[in-house]
């Protein structure tokens, strides 16, 4: 039974997990089995489950034929831990799954993992570039293109320059781009390129753009040697000398056997284990925890080899330079070991290709939690990386050409005509983010409340306004925004105090009765 292809996009690992569970529950044969003089209905044997699931995974385009039996047993162990299956005694969670004759069954309900829901964005409304009142059109690289609106006069000015009918014009050098401007352009266009390759409306659920460092991208593009390896400014981030020596020894095998290296039987296996131990003890995988979802999303493009290579090229540009260099050295070593027919077998139980994928999958890609389908997904990625490492660990030519063309355009001089509008060209491309209908309704109802409240507070605290002017402005505000005024001044007394409304004075007789002694004092000087 073959799984449907799960394409790129947010939460791809969760979608693959749920898809595999549904296929496993729907397709695995169950029946009556006998254990310890007792019959059990609707159960299955562990070994039969391993056989069936292994065939499913190997025949799936999402995982491929590189899946091993050991990985399948580990996946069934995760099924048991997450109560996808249970033993015939109803135990799960703390039990170990083994490839034997033990009986298991499905619980009444299978817990599929829910998809995370991002809270609605309560920020400012979408803003467009200063030169446009409408969403800008975009080019093939998602770069906003300024709309070209020419009336007859503008058209005449544009096309009459060849015959000398234009009055005197001048060449104006555009403002100098700073390093920060260049870094912003590289970052924004790289992320836009990745979004285009993945075919997504947004990268929010796949990648946190705030954690992407533009300096890493520029370093990975330009700070390389003739062999394409990244050059590091901090030499302490280099691989240890003994690791480099071990990698050179194994990569040039048996050419290095004439040196002073030991030549005892099994020496090449010890060298391989030395390299594997170093990469296996890294605190973070080479592709980093923060980029895990982005790389997993690219796995959905493996049916289109060119798109998958381009997606991995772009993702690898986001890596820290030290990680990219270690990945370049490791993948070149993996390819040399794989293609070296003179190298003795490094493992008695598996081939060289399977050993390489199994050994370096976890050091290259894993999630922070190390759960679900991490090992299968990383094995799939490492297999593809082994076959296409030379293409993947290079700079995407289309992206580099687009960015350099953009930078050259911004640095190019421009022609200014008398009476022309001042230059409003931005130093970098601007982008608009598509919002959901729910977010639009929220902004429509609540998005202007904070600026309105700030306007009211500014009017109250303005020392330049006289009492009369404040009263006038507050009355206008109350008429235009009654809800905001009511929220700021909920009681009639507070509204009267804000508007400086004087309370009506009581009649003269009432005042006289309320102040008898004062009234008597005033009439004491009357003459009879």
Give yes or no for a contact between 62 and 3, defined as CB atoms under 8 angstroms apart: yes
Question: Does a cis peptide bond (omega within 30 degrees of 0) precede residue 108?
Answer: no
Q: Provide the pLDDT confidence category of residue 418 given band limits of 50, 70 and 90.
A: low
Would the pLDDT of 107 be above 80? yes
Per-residue confidence (pLDDT) for residue 190, from 0 to 100: 95
Burial (Cβ within 10 Å: 0-12, 13-18, ≥19) of residue 59: middle
Q: Nearest to residue 329, comparing CAs of 234, 217, 240, 214?
A: 240
Convert the pLDDT of each residue in 234-258 to its tens digit: 888 999 999 999 999 898 888 754 4
Alpha helices in 199-351 (DSSP H): 214-222, 241-251, 267-280, 292-298, 305-317, 321-339
Per-residue confidence (pLDDT) for residue 93, from 0 to 100: 82
Give yes or no for a contact between 44 and 30, defined as CB atoms under 8 angstroms apart: yes
Q: Provide the pLDDT confidence category of residue 47 given band limits of 50, 70 and 90.
A: very high
Would the pLDDT of 162 be above 70? no
Convert the pLDDT of each residue in 203-228 to its tens digit: 988 898 999 999 999 999 999 998 88
The whole-angstrom separation of Cα 205 and Cα 118 is 8
Query: Which strands form 86-87's sheet, in the order they lie side by side?
Result: 31-34, 39-45, 103-105, 86-87
CA triple 101-107-113, angle to 5 deg: 110
Convert the pLDDT of each residue in 390-402 to its tens digit: 899 999 999 999 9
Q: Provide the pLDDT confidence category of residue 197 given band limits of 50, 70 and 90.
A: very high
Would the pLDDT of 132 be above 50? no
Convert the pLDDT of each residue in 3-22 to its tens digit: 677 878 778 888 888 889 99
What CATH class has 181-401? Answer: mainly alpha
Alpha helices in 340-396 (DSSP H): 352-364, 374-392
Q: Provide the pLDDT confidence category of residue 337 given band limits of 50, 70 and 90.
A: very high
Strand, coil or helix: what is 42?
Answer: strand
Residue indicated by tokens 């004092």? 521
Strands 144-145 and 31-34 turn out to be unpaired
Per-residue confidence (pLDDT) for residue 127, from 0 to 100: 41
Phi, psi of 499 (to 5 degrees): -85, 0
SS3 content of the chain, % helix, strand, coil (to 5): 50, 5, 45
Question: Rounded mean pLDDT of 151-168?
Answer: 50
Give Cα separations from 281 to 276, 277, 286, 306 (angstroms): 9, 6, 11, 33
Q: Provide the pLDDT confidence category of residue 150 given band limits of 50, 70 and 90.
A: very low
CA triple 119-133-170, angle to 5 deg: 130
| DSSP E strands, 50-205 | 86-87, 103-105, 137-138, 144-145, 170-172
Q: Within 10 A of 58 (CB to CB), how many other CB atoms are there?
A: 15
- The CATH code that applies to domain 13-105 is 1.10.10.10
Fold match, 13-105 / 181-401? no
Give Cα separations from 69 to 50, 56, 76, 151, 360 (angstroms): 7, 12, 11, 70, 17
Q: Nearest to residue 335, comparing CAs of 311, 360, 309?
A: 360
Would the pLDDT of 442 be above 80? no
Per-residue confidence (pLDDT) for residue 466, from 0 to 100: 83
The whole-angstrom separation of Cα 455 and Cα 326 is 55
Q: What is the DSSP letter of 67?
A: -
Among 134-143, 171-180, 191-200, 343-352, top mean pLDDT goes to: 191-200
Give yes or no for a contact between 418 and 401, defined as CB atoms under 8 angstroms apart: no
The whole-angstrom separation of Cα 156 and Cα 179 is 39
Q: Nearest to residue 297, comparing CAs of 6, 56, 4, 3?
A: 6
Q: Within 10 A of 489 (CB to CB), how many other CB atoms are there?
A: 18
Q: Which residues contact 305 (CB under 8 A, 6 or more apart)?
A: 388
Would the pLDDT of 502 be above 60? no
Give yes or no for a contact between 2 and 96, defined as CB atoms under 8 angstroms apart: no
| CA-derived radius of gyration, the chain | 36
The whole-angstrom separation of Cα 78 and Cα 5 is 22
Q: Provide the pLDDT confidence category of residue 230 given band limits of 50, 70 and 90.
A: very high
Question: Rounded mean pLDDT of 352-371?
Answer: 88
Q: DSSP for 300-320?
A: GGTTSHHHHHHHHHHHHHTS-
Q: Provide the pLDDT confidence category of residue 133 given band limits of 50, 70 and 90.
A: very low
Can you give the residue ranges of every domain in the chain?
13-105, 181-401
Percent of the chain whose predicted confidence (pLDDT) is above 70: 73
Structure tokens at 486: 């009511």
User: What is the value of pTM for the model shown?
Assistant: 0.65
Residue 416 bridge partners (DSSP): 170
Q: Provide the pLDDT confidence category of residue 341 given band limits of 50, 70 and 90.
A: confident
Convert the pLDDT of each residue in 260-309 to its tens digit: 666 777 888 899 999 999 999 999 999 999 999 999 999 888 888 899 99
Calculate the CA 2 to chain-centre distance.
30
Contacts 24+ apart (CB under 8 A), 415-421: 415/169, 415/170, 415/171, 415/172, 416/169, 416/170, 416/171, 416/172, 417/157, 417/166, 417/167, 417/169, 418/167, 418/168, 418/169
């Amino acid at each position: 039974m073959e799984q449907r292809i799960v394409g790129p996009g947010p939460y791809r690992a969760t979608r693959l997990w749920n898809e595999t569970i549904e296929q496993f529950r729907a397709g695995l044969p169950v029946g009556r089995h006998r254990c310890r003089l007792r019959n059990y209905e609707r159960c299955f044997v562990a070994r039969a489950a391993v056989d069936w699931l292994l065939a499913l995974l190997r025949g799936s385009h999402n995982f491929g034929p590189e899946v091993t039996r050991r990985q399948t047993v580990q996946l069934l162990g995760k099924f048991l831990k997450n109560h996808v299956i249970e033993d015939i005694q109803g135990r799960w969670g703390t039990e170990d799954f083994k490839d034997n004759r033990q009986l298991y069954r499905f619980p009444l309900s299978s817990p599929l993992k829910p998809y995370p829901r991002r809270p609605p964005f309560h920020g400012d409304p979408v803003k467009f570039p200063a030169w446009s009142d409408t969403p800008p059109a975009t080019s093939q690289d998602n770069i906003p293109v300024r709309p070209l609106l020419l009336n007859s006069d503008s058209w005449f000015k544009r096309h009459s320059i060849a015959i000398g009918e234009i009055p005197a014009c001048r060449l104006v050098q555009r403002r100098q781009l700073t390093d920060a401007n260049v870094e912003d352009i590289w970052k924004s266009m790289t992320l836009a390129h990745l979004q285009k390759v993945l075919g997504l409306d947004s990268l929010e659920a796949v990648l946190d753009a705030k954690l992407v460092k533009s300096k890493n991208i520029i370093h990975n593009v330009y700070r390389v040697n003739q062999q394409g390896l990244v050059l590091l400014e901090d030499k302490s981030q280099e691989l240890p000398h003994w690791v480099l020596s071990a990698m050179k020894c194994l990569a040039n095998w048996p050419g290095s056997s004439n040196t002073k290296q030991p030549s005892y039987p099994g020496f090449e296996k010890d060298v391989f284990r030395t390299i594997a131990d170093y990469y296996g003890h890294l605190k973070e995988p080479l592709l980093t925890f923060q980029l895990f979802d982005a790389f997993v999303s690219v796995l959905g493009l493996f049916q289109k080899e060119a798109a998958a290579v381009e997606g991995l090229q772009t993702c690898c540009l986001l890596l820290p330079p030290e990680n990219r260099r270690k990945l370049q050295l490791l993948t070149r070593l993996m390819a040399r070991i794989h293609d070296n027919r003179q190298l003795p077998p490094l493992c008695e139980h598996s081939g060289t290709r399977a050993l390489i994928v199994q050994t370096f999958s976890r050091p290259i890609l894993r999630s922070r939690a190390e759960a679900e389908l991490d090992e299968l997904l990383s094995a799939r990625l490492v297999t593809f990386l082994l076959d296409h490492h030379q293409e993947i660990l290079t700079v995407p030519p289309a992206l580099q050409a687009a960015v350099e063309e953009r930078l050259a355009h911004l640095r190019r001089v421009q022609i200014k005509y008398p009476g022309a509008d001042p230059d409003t060209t931005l130093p970098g491309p601007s982008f608009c983010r598509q919002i959901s209908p729910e977010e639009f309704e929220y902004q429509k109802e609540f998005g202007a409340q904070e600026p309105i409240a700030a306007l009211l507070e500014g009017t109250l605290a303005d020392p330049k306004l006289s009492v009369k002017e404040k009263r006038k402005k507050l009355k206008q505000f109350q008429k235009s925004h009654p809800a905001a005024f009511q929220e700021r001044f909920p009681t009639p007394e507070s509204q009267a105090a804000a508007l400086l409304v004087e309370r009506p004075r009581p009649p003269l007789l009432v005042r006289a009765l309320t102040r008898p002694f004062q009234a008597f004092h005033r009439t004491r000087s009357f003459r009879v």
